[in-house]
Structure 1
């Protein structure tokens, strides 16, 4: 049974990574979930319980994807691209990518910001790689700040009693530390291109109107996430309201269509996440969950224990992808894990995927976006950038988290 469960998970991940003949991720995940239930690896009641538990999180994913699509339709990303000049392009992209990931989630950074950045670099006649790799790295590592920044965060925060603001307060310093490591490391990796970029005169961009309405709606939506958390309101409903406001305006102005909105919600990907949750639950019940629980047992909340949790999470993310890794680790941590341990795990599954293409779905999607833009990322350079930044970001990020937990005044 254990071998079958692992084989089904492996098949699901291979199809999700390779997408043979353009097949959607759900094309393997749904049959695998059906097999899991059909052969008794997981009872129908347990499978349904998994779907119910993941439901609000997947609903939020769909809503925030629509919100990001509407922000793009309102010109937010075109306006952001107009702010990018040749000089300090790297730094400006870094700031925009960090903010986009934190507020609109990592999918917006990959799907919407990366093409803008690549096209801006071409318009400015500079190398696109430094800024494009910033988008790839920060789609993962800049997602540590808020519960809504990453699907893994939403899954994990449900296992704790942390409010939106408490989560952000504990993760603010680790987020800043990780970003600092990424900035220094990526500047060093791309130092040659950046020297050439800064040696040329700046290019004056065409002025673009500020999308004031969309920016206000996004700001109010973010504030709504913080306000709704203490009231027990799921973030999915706040995202739905924000998306509805922008959708009404964009539909009236014919900047988008009902069909485009449905497509932006990525229904097949949402089904994939639900089916993946069922398959991962079966793997956890048949061996791997017990192994992870034994590895996590007794680590405690000291600095050494938190570093071990983050390292285990990073390794697992690069073996089975960050989303299955999060589901497996949450199950192994038990019903009432210490919040600081969950946050250390999030640093592992957030920063760790920058080591390999298969570490996160966002990185795989980024590679696809780059190929669509006519640029094939270099595996060697991606690996070098990961080795330069990821270990240091993991260690220093966890140290910052430990300091925030033990010295709240920081």
Structure 2
């Protein structure tokens, strides 16, 4: 009965997060669902509090990085990126796709996948329209790279922060081990997307007006570079990366407030408190599901060990689970099961839950945000989204796991 009730609560929370009727925040259902599971004894108040305490550093980082990304946007960082893409591509769709891949990968790695989806995607749309080139391949690239390029650093994705603590690696060591898998996944994405959208990517440049020049936001780039260095320093000192993100957000926030470019209320809104509450309550709901017996079921499904076949199996299970129930619940379910096998197995889970969301809209909340961002300009149905994902995800997972297997032997874990 406990497992049935917990699974029902999880299903309701996820469906509501996907549909979001009337634009209501995900917390509208997630908070009551977690409270109901505590009230009925499926999970005890002490267990729920322990889960919330475990997730607080992750949620704190998420709040800081959301504010940091929005302040970067206010300073013109993404507008400057759009101008750079237009100038370098010079109206050639293939060159524009290369630029989108480079900038989207860098944005995802440093500012997280949400920045790529919410802030960069509209810029890519506008740039493609201004250059009179087909929009579809370039916008699909932002959706896929928001997930695929998020393998690189612990700060690139919420799932990475959870895996980072479970793997027990330093910030630098994590980045070193995941560099080859990230490059492999992004390379596969580029080759497959270019093949799928070959008709939309002619070699000849389209006629277009000369793009306007825009200032380079040097101050913002310096703050981002220092923030990235701060991630590594805080890790070496045994502190959460949220402190570095908070420092970067504070510097830009104080500057914006002094120049009256923003307000305290807007900064608080950028932190998206309802979404943070959703993440915490989702963690409690998933914890209830695991404690009610799902962990026993999953142990019979997830391969054990750090051999290449085991890593491929772990990544495949993680990808399918993420595509079915969203990557955040998937990583919360799988990490306790694979952590005893070692860091390589944890990183294989990460490959699955970061690449697997490209299979379905429900795979990650970033996918749903992307759908909302592009809705006014183009329609991408669930079937088309999954069809493209079925072409990219399997080879990307195989390539990334092979690269992980090699990387583990080079850098050790």
Tell me if both proteins adopt one fold, taking TM over 0.5 as the criterion. Answer: yes
Structure 1 position 254, deviation (Å): 2.1
Which residue does the alignment assign to 1:14? 15
Aligned to 1:341: 345
What's the CA shift string for 1:115-171, capped at 9, x where partnerless?
111111111222211111000000000000000000000011111220000000100
Query: CA deviation digits over 1:290-337, x for unaligned, max 9?
Result: 11123236x211000000000010011011100000001112235x44
**Contact residue 64 and residue 105 of structure 1 kept, 8 A:** yes
Alpha-carbon distance between aligned partners in 1 of 2:205 and 2:225, rounded to the nearest angstrom: 37
Partner of 1:5: 6
Which range moves more in the overlay, 71-80 or 288-297? Answer: 288-297
Q: Choose the corresponding residue for 1:175, options 158, 182, 202.
A: 182
Alignment match of 2:312 (pick from 307, 313, 316): 307
CA shift digits 1:351-374 (9 cap, x unpaired) = 111011111111111101111x33
Aligned-residue CA RMSD in angstroms?
Answer: 1.3
Structure-2 separation of matches of 1:185 and 1:62: 34
Please state if 1:144 is matched with 2:151: yes
**2:398 counterpart of 1:395:** yes
1:252-401 counterparts in 2 under 5 A? 252-296=258-302, 299-333=304-338, 336-371=340-375, 373-401=376-404
Distance 2:265 2:132 in 1: 36
Aligned length: 405
Verify the 8 A CA contact 1:57 1:155 in the aligned structure 2: yes
Structure 1's consecutive aligned runs of 4 or more residues displaced over 2 angstroms after TM superposition are: 201-204, 293-297, 331-334, 378-381, 406-409
Q: Deviations over 1:244-280 (max 9, x none)?
A: 0001111122222212211110100000000000000
Q: Aligned-pair distance for 1:189? A: 1.1
Q: Of residues 87, 90, 95 in structure 1, which corresponds to 2:102?
A: 95
Q: TM-score with structure 1 length normalisation?
A: 0.96
Structure 2 length normalisation: TM-score?
0.96
8 Å CA contact 2:131, 2:206 repeated in 1: no
Give structure 2 stretches of 5+ with no counterpart: none
Q: What SS is found at the alignment partner of 2:201?
A: helix
Instruction: Give me the whole-angstrom Cα distance separating, in 2, the residues matched to 1:260 and 1:115.
Output: 20
Distance of 1:60 and 1:407 partners within structure 2: 30
Distance 1:202 1:405 in 2: 47
d(CA) in 2 for partners of 1:337, 1:58: 26
SS in 2 for 1:159: helix
